[in-house]
Structure 1
Amino acid sequence: MSALEDQTILRETATRVLAGHGLVLEEVEIRRGGGMPQVRLVVDLPEDQLGSADLDTVAEASRELSEAVDADDAVLGADPVLLEVTTPGVERELTALRHFRRSRGRLLTLTTTAGTALRARLLAVDGEEMVLRQEPGRDDRGRPRKLPAGTSEHLRLAHEEIDSARVEVEFDPPADLEQLLAEAEAAPDDPDDTTPAAAPAATKES
């Protein structure tokens, strides 16, 4: 088995180098085409940190990884390989719990396994449950949308109840976001502050 197929030494080397820069290995992608193989390493901050990885730090880690690959054919083999180190794009679908932990404070577009569409801010991840605040946004005329009558603004969804989720690009996050996150982390479980995942959450115009 080739080094590209095995990836054991590659992952061990990447994990060691990235740890020295405060980064973690998220994913390894191998692309084979007509030319040389392309190895794409997706890196990110640890799941207990918010924000985005510093691009200068990623560049430094990339240079060190390239040096490690050049110095040891066991990492990627002796044949030429194009190595790319990058961070996850905003279009990435959130699947694993660590993806959600890294997205605390972000506005998400979700669909539950029951088929309910939600637009909500992820405030905390409590075990395998997402603590969310629904934010319907505005309609085409700029008017605030309202939640259906009887629907709670705050809800909790189990990881297994989420069919799909993506981060929504946001240019003007709430000014009190840090306070919201702190309060969500500190708040005890409240059964009265939960909306069932199957409850209708479609928005309507005022």
Structure 2
Amino acid sequence: MASTQIEEQVRALVEGIVTGAGAELDAVTILKQNGALVCRITVEEPLGSEKLSSDALADISRAISKTMDAADPISDAYMLEVSTPGLERELKKADHWMRQIGGLVSVKMRNGNKFVGRVSNADDKGATVDTGAESHTIAYDEIKKARSRVDFGSWE
């Protein structure tokens, strides 16, 4: 069975567990890592909510593990990883950008331009990033790659 089919099966199995715990399912990825099969499930707090606690994440992980063991959607041996996106995450969806309003991002555009700035606005179609010198309003489909950045503040 193709990896995307398995990812869809796993998503269907675990989405209710994640939402029932008051979180959102961000991504399900099946990949080979150092020769081992990994099922990576990324969860996060709903937009506007407090960050997930480590206890809440552990509870979600245990519930997902039990469900995966019972349903057995992956025929080969695999390692299950349940985590949050982390401090520096790739920004792929509109809600990723919305969560980043006020935060620092680095952006590589399809036309070759690159810049770092703060997200001042985001909606379903695009975002506005202020670099200090200028403001860039960009459609998501114009972006090659974007990541949130850790903001260490000014050293002045």
TM-score interval (norm. to shorter): 0.7 to 0.9
Unaligned stretches of 5+ residues in structure 1: 136-146, 174-206
Unaligned stretches of 5+ residues in structure 2: none
Does structure 2 conserve the Cα–Cα contact (< 8 Å) formed by 1:128 and 1:159? yes
Deviation digits for residues 95-140 of structure 1, max 9, x if unmatched?
Answer: 23232122222111123333332221112213312133223xxxxx
- Whose strand proportion is higher, 1 or 2? 2
Q: CA deviation at 1:163?
A: 2.6
Partner residue in 2 for 1:112: 109
For the residue of structure 1 that corresponds to 2:11, the secondary structure is helix
Max Rg structure:
1
Partner residue in 1 for 2:87: 90
For the residue of structure 2 that corresponds to 1:65, the secondary structure is helix
Task: Name segments (4+ residues, structure 1) moved above 4 Å.
Answer: 2-5, 32-36
User: Percent same amino acid at aligned positions?
Assistant: 27
Aligned pair count? Answer: 154
Partner residue in 1 for 2:43: 43
Partner residue in 1 for 2:63: 64
Distance in 2 separating the partners of 1:119 and 1:6: 36
Does structure 1 conserve the Cα–Cα contact (< 8 Å) formed by 2:65 and 2:80? yes
Partner residue in 1 for 2:12: 12
TM-score with structure 2 setting the length: 0.77
TM-score with structure 1 setting the length: 0.61
Q: RMSD value over aligned CA atoms?
A: 3.0
Does structure 2 conserve the Cα–Cα contact (< 8 Å) formed by 1:3 and 1:75? no
Amino acid across the alignment from 1:73: A
Distance in 1 separating the partners of 2:142 and 2:32: 36
